Amino acid sequence: MAEESQGSYIQSLRRTFRGTTRVKESEKDTELYLVQCMTEIGGLARKFISPSHRGVPDQICCFPNGIVVFVEIKSEGKKPPDYQLREHLRLRTCKQLVEVVSTKTEVDTIIAKYNSVVNTED
């Protein structure tokens, strides 16, 4: 998809109201929005696939300040199943940051939360 058309597509996804009925955000819409937001702040969002481990988070987000966050993306209103929650716990036990998002507002919240943090490990 061309850069221009991808940007306009992302903008069209932000329109979540049709008349007075709210349209639920899909997992794909939220994931595209996360990738776009990370790119806009100068960070990276990479699809995370682990053939030998079921339940790993969907994206690895590398913020420009050096913070790395594993992000699980769900359709609006959905929660991760138990096997994904167990994998999140394994990552957190290893001192990794794990977030679950299901809306663009939640994406905005984690971007603001981690992009404003100063990494003191440098």
pLDDT at 16: 44
Q: What CATH number was assigned to the domain covering residues 3-115?
A: 3.40.1350.10
Strand arrangement, sheet containing 44-47: 44-47, 59-62, 68-73, 97-101
Tens of pLDDT, residue by residue over 41-91, are 999 999 999 999 899 999 999 999 999 999 999 998 899 999 999 999 999
Tens of pLDDT, residue by residue over 108-121, are 999 999 998 766 66
pLDDT at 11: 54
Tens of pLDDT, residue by residue over 87-108, are 999 999 999 999 999 999 999 9
Alpha-carbon gap, residue 7 to 43, rounded angstroms: 17
Rg (CA), the chain: 15
CA distances from 26 to 5, 74, 78, 90 (A): 19, 8, 10, 27
pLDDT at 1 over 90: no
The domain locations on the chain are: 3-115
Tens of pLDDT, residue by residue over 14-44, are 554 444 456 777 889 999 999 999 999 999 9
Alpha-carbon gap, residue 55 to 52, rounded angstroms: 10
Per-residue pLDDT band for 9 (boundaries 50, 70, 90) equals: low
